[in-house]
Structure 1
């Protein structure tokens, strides 16, 4: 359980100056930091204000008790609070949850959305229902899950402008109890250590007959496969800078540390324990991820490895969500080009709702590539670019989601995933042995390939036969010449 919170003084003082220098009476946003499962401390790296809604409205406002009941007191005009009434804080929970989900995708390992902050007067904060605040925190926690068995607690930071003070509370997701905890500021971001891992993956997800018959869609099966891979990844052995380190050992030397993950041999036996009759198809996720993670002061190497593994799984999930969200946003009826040529199949449902019996042709979806963006000190965040997007789209999202005011230069963006184009979802119908659903084009391509191999082997065989025949002919001629010019002597 978290008992104390340390915030980065540089970023939090910047947020404080911005708030006190503004004329706004109330503001809501999310907390970016780290909740350590093995420590009683939490780290707060920054406060990110939630942007206005699509309609341009503020995600929070002040509202008096009378207005909440629809009972305005006499003399109040235009919905303003009556004299003497202390307004409470009204929060747009759905919009904050969506903001949390978007920001969570942009954070690397060792960083996550760990709570909500509020800027208001002390009176308005006390007038706000604790259950309403806890409900928002619970929804934010549900929207930003982690595959780790992390604590269910989240933070609530209140910055009061009258009187001027900071206060931090810890909220258990399952309760409405907001427990005050110690809060202080110190140097954090400049002390974080960086870890990088180039992780190649080949995830094979079987599609069982009972799943097809119960109309499981593509998204359900893919999420299940990624979750299973997350459990396998927990058993991976990690090398840091080429050395096997003790889990409790602290990484004291500076610089960028390279991490290599070694999965147990034949860990993916999920398909092998079932007969081919039980499996109706196979989904293959294959590609490479450039994973990054950051380690806080006085933390062990095992935490750095855990952060790297967490980043890999979060990156896979984020890319899948982006692909499916993009397919859903385009239209409810989507025309998709399967394979080469002009063959198109009209899908009457969004892609993520497709049933497997409707996908009888090879389907390849390109995953978006990860781009690293300088954030603060030597720390980076990330974003994902679809094939149709440009760096300008990425910069716009950074300004909106992360409230980055300084213009991001294209030259400072890092694309380290050289094999991003290989990160695709391959056809699953043709991966099963003796599967009748293989397409004619696939069979044709295989036939051409086999014909080329057969032709090559035939040419090689014919050449070898010619050489052997020539050698035999020379031997016969030589033997005949010897017999002709050196006749054998008769035995008397």
Structure 2
């Protein structure tokens, strides 16, 4: 079934110089584009290129995708020269196929130029499409949740290795993802499942009587927000094929993870759940990969091998809004960095400036020290000091008893002398 491509009125392809990424979402019969992030100029270049550069554009897509919330994707590319459709179809096909390889959740990927022309690539076939601009801004529902991480996993590691690799940390991430996939999401204390839309579709020509009502606090023009709870089952969390082997290292993922997913009006509750879980997994994998990459050539964390646990602090997540939309984006800051450190990367990747006060930088917590304290140390008791204390008390009681006995004996002797 062919899908209608709708663009937010804030998108002006005529003002684009060079290439850019189209950010948006999918509904069953619609592809929604809400923002264009201009492709940055490579080092040494004077300005935007007049031709396609698939490797550079795909690298830009990779960076943008890492910062998007669940439910939002890089859905395609845009280019300022309409003639590119006639002279570079092979590059366009390569570009669209490369985008599908970056995001296995993406639907049909599109390539647009001014004058309502473009191409669309599904799983195999590429076809001509047209798009239209909506009269009103595309609305999104914000799904807000958080997870408390407490994921232990045992692995085999080199005897002298103190540096965590992504292949090692990924085992804990995979265990967490298996738990999430079997979990249940609650929105407004109701289970998120089925094809019922979270709210009526915005651009559906048919009137819908069903759909979840807006929040009581929602006003005209305000974004609809829901708090979501993720509940996991208390079942054995193992793969279907279990390998039994010797393990010498224990990894534990601990802390508080903040999640925000954005879905367009008309998204089914089942897809809302998918967007929430997608955001959690995308964020966790992204920051673990960033952290492990930063460890190359450095020590693996605080502490030394054999001297208690090594504590790793992956980047924390901060949020800001994508201008002109109801979509939030995120960046990741290493320990010691503040909100001002996200300004430059957001400017480079998305092409807009943001003020430090517009960045939410207080939504995540790292694990407390007691969470990573060795079991032996946590359960140990001060035996020597408490034992000495009991010995002193016992000696004191014994001395007091001996003294009382001596006084009693002396008193008895004096009484006997008096009688004689």
TM category (shorter chain) comes to 0.7 to 0.9
Number of the residue aligned with 2:209? none
1:350-373 alpha-carbon deviations (Å, 9 max, x no partner)? xxxxxxxxx998433211111111
* Aligned residue in 2 for 1:155: 110
Residues 132, 268 of structure 1: alpha-carbon distance in 2 compared, 3 angstrom cutoff: same
How far apart are residue 316 of structure 1 and its match? 0.6
RCO higher in 1 or 2 (8 Å CA, sep ≥ 6)?
A: 2
Match 1:18 to one of 15, 18, 26: 15
* Structure 2 segments unaligned to the other structure (5+ residues): 199-212, 216-223, 406-420
Output the CA distance in 2 between the equivalents of 1:452 and 1:187: 70
Residues 131/295 of structure 1: CA separation in 2 closer, same or farther (3 Å cut): same
Match of 2:131 in 1: 183
TM-score, structure 1 as length reference: 0.66
Unaligned stretches of 5+ residues in structure 1: 62-89, 160-164, 329-333, 346-358, 428-441, 478-492
The 3 A distance-change label for structure 1 pair 272 and 29 is closer
Cα 1:314–1:335 change in 2 (3 A) is: closer
Q: 1:250 to 1:284 in 2, by over 3 A?
A: same
CA distance in structure 2 between the aligned counterparts of 1:363 and 1:132, rounded to whole angstroms: 47
- List 4+ stretches of structure 1 deviating above 6 A: 459-467
Structure 2 CA distance for partners of 1:450 and 1:286, relative to 1, 3 Å = closer
Is the 1:188–1:297 contact (alpha carbons within 8 Å) kept by the matching residues of 2?
A: no
1:52 alignment partner, SS class: coil
RMSD over aligned Cα atoms:
3.8
Offset at 1:17? 5.2
| 1:58-114 CA distance string (max 9 Å, x none) | 5632xxxxxxxxxxxxxxxxxxxxxxxxxxxx3222211111111111111211111
SS in 1 for 2:267: coil
Q: For 1:369-401, what per-residue CA distance to the aligned partner results, in whole angstroms no more than 9, with x for missing partners?
A: 111112234432111111243333211111111
Compared CA separation, residues 278 and 456, structure 1 to 2 (3 A): same
- What per-residue deviation string (whole Å, max 9, x for no partner) do you get for residues 252-281 of structure 1? 314421111111103424599665x53343
* Pairing 1:117–2:78 present: yes
Query: 2:67, 2:292 → 1: CA distance?
Result: 17
**Corresponding residue SS for 1:134:** helix
Query: Per the alignment, do residues 225 and 127 of structure 1 end up closer, same or farther by CA in structure 2, a change over 3 Å counting?
Result: same
Alpha-carbon distance in structure 1 between the residues aligned to 2:246 and 2:359: 47
Paired position in structure 1 for 2:204: none
Once the two structures are superposed, residues 379-430 of structure 1 have per-residue CA deviations (whole angstroms, 9 ceiling, x without a partner) of 32111111243333211111111111xx42222211242413669x979xxx
Question: Partner residue of 2:338?
Answer: 390
1:103 maps to which residue?
64
Of 222, 226, 229, which aligns to 1:257? 226
Q: What TM-score, normalized to structure 2?
A: 0.76
